[in-house]
Structure 1
């Protein structure tokens, strides 16, 4: 069984080229955290985060954090958890469970009848 790290809405896969700490920091970058925010969250110096991210970028062969995230996704080192949710829903519907397959009733059409009346007819109706 492959080890994974789940961080927010992302899942990181160990054993695919990045060290565990590098993977944790890449997952934090994916969630939009800055270097200082990552350092504060892990209780370490910002320089340590910079070094670990630099090592991760070197291993992935890129020079920018955005490219690091894209390359990690391309190599399937990180994956969004929404794909896991889609897979679960697909399996759920394949087993034909009732709640996921409950069909909605079509809404009943409500039609309103509007009748145009000339002024002469209005006077006849009133008087």
Structure 2
């Protein structure tokens, strides 16, 4: 039986095998979905300290220091995406074409 390659939660999909451990990815999806550390912990059945540690580990791996930067970097690296949305990845010379695609911007 193959292990799942994605985790979907909070309206987002996270991709395993791209640098985040499964629990880190679960915490990231909760935070990116708007949950506080306490809310994420409750939803995942872990302590708030566990969520903080997993998010700290992931911020270190991705080279950022803030949660907002972590979420933005995760989107830009393709670690997470809005569930059910196939977002184009235009090549540099076609950037102006991407204006027709409206998505979610998280800063």
User: Under a length normalisation based on structure 2, what TM-score does the superposition of the two structures give?
Assistant: 0.74
Counterparts of 1:55 and 1:10, CA distance in 2: 20
Gaps of 5+ in 1: 88-127
Partner in structure 1 of residue 45 of structure 2: 43
- Whether 2:69 is the aligned partner of 1:67: answer yes
Gaps of 5+ in 2: 89-107
Bigger helix share: 1
Paired residues, number: 86
Counterparts of 1:38 and 1:8, CA distance in 2: 10
Bigger Rg over Cα: 1
Cα RMSD for the two superposed structures? 2.0
Moved over 3 A (4+): none
Post-superposition Cα deviations, 1:50-88, rounded to whole Å, max 9, x if no partner, equal 00100010011000000000000010000112424x89x
Counterparts of 2:44 and 2:29, CA distance in 1: 13
Counterparts of 1:82 and 1:14, CA distance in 2: 17
Partner in structure 1 of residue 25 of structure 2: 23
